[in-house]
Structure 1
Amino acid sequence: MSLGPSSLESLRVFDACARHGSYTRAAEELGISPAAVSQRMRHLQADIGAPLFDRRGPRIALTDSGKELAGKVGQALTILGTAVQSCRDCDTIRVSAAPTFASRWLAPRLASFAGSRTHRITIDAASDLRAPGSFDVAIRSGLGRWKGFQATLLFPIEATPLYNPQLYRPAPLAAPRDLVDCARLPSDAWPAWFEAAGVDVPGDAIGGSGVRYPTQDLAGAAVLEGAGIALLSPRLFADALGAGRLVRPFETMLHGPAGYWVLISDHDRRPSVLAFRAWLVEASRKTGL
């Protein structure tokens, strides 16, 4: 197989397909059409002489050959991305962070890192982990297992009921059971929270009702406007709690098992990246609950 520019681009497309398990999502990441992705993959499989994917409805699954190639291509792209970045402005640190973490925790603290250094920092608020080589540091929620990356735990994901007492005024909340009759934003974590609080709640009332928000940031914005009570992280909404715009009626709080992790490539040893990771870890310890 000749590794000309066209073949190298096909391998980049293949890497995106392998990570997403979808031609459509790979196309969205790369900014090309699904048809172009499909054509690239047909040509690549023809060049290799072996199938790389099995079709499973709208999803695709890697064959054994595809898994072997995906591992090697992912490593190669990471090494290439690190090499290219080392030739760029070394004072720039590209940070990709989950949207809620970026807006609620990272953004208010970045000045304390940038103010004492010459590094320029760019932020990409994204829910999905970007392609290897497109960032220097990523902050993601999960269990700490990302192939090809060193993962360092910042803090566990936490959740407890919070609401705005000025705009949403429920009847006096004397015990966790009183939350059953409140306007609670939907969350899959309500059953676990009620169980932790020792409350037996009927199944048809346990999950909350109304609009389901995809991130804590959006749910928190709705709660601040009086939408009701939501399970949120008091660490991420510490400013609103401190100002009295949110209150925490009960001490019961869910911890983990997932957490927020800082990821850097296994191959990255740049002092600026390591310094930023160390700052993130230290800042997370200073904001412990």
Structure 2
Amino acid sequence: MTTSTTGPTRTRARSARRPRTRGNSILLTSGLAIALAAVLVPFYWLVIASTHTSQEIFDSPPPLLPGGHLMDNISALQETVSFGRVVLNSLLIAVLYTVCAGAVCTLAGYAFAKYRFKGREALFGLIMLGLVIPNQVTLVPLFKLMADLEWLNTYQAVIMPNLALPFGIFLMRQSMDALPDELLDSGRMDGCGEFRLFAQIVLPPMKPALAALGIFLFLYQWNDFIWPLIVLRDNVSFTLPVALASLQGVDDTDYGALLTGTAIAAIPMAVVFLALQRHFVSGLLAGAVKE
């Protein structure tokens, strides 16, 4: 008797769950489509606007198809702010900063995760205070330091002050904290020196975390505006955000050239993220769950 009623009951339960599951799937897909449109539509209009003149951009209705003034806008950028040199400046500074800051944050994270020394927790807490201190608070003393070192209007003035980035140190410390101590001890027993141990045993499992750190550092420096604006003086030394800001006049702004420069500035960010996005999420989650 029990067997005969269980079968139909399960069948009715499954059939009742199917419409609910299908409805949830449709709702989720619709929400994702709306979110995707909200993200992509502004980028689409940015690319379209970069091919039009300032007058055409403010037409009503606004243009939704590509125009024929892309090269004119690029020429205007080159004449106004030496755009090719500005792009080269930004790429060079961002790459150098990513490499140098990545090395500093990785070594610091390893030291805080795997070495025991007096004052370790106090020092790490002091570094973490940097996450809650606004950057504007340090602008004046940093500028005075750069002036005393005669580094104003140089690449090192842009790169050096933020090499030990608190978030980067925190990310690498949390990731390396999940690495088993027994693995390091076995390497030391086999005769590995500390730098060989770091390079051959510690770094290979950290590739996802390093990819996440690299993306964060590159985008952080590529988009930085306030500090390069303060320490860079010549037009030929400007980075992209500073050069694009200089295109905005009080009475007259060439929005076609401005949006063209903005669209070009977004290309390296997209390339870096797409190249490393396979590791990005796993890198951010590394160390979040510890055995």
TM over 0.5: no
Q: Which has the higher strand share?
A: 1
With structure 2 as the length reference, what TM-score do the two structures score? Answer: 0.21
The structure with the largest alpha-carbon Rg is 2
Higher RCO structure, 1 or 2 (CA under 8 Å, sep 6+) = 2
Q: Which has the higher helix share?
A: 2
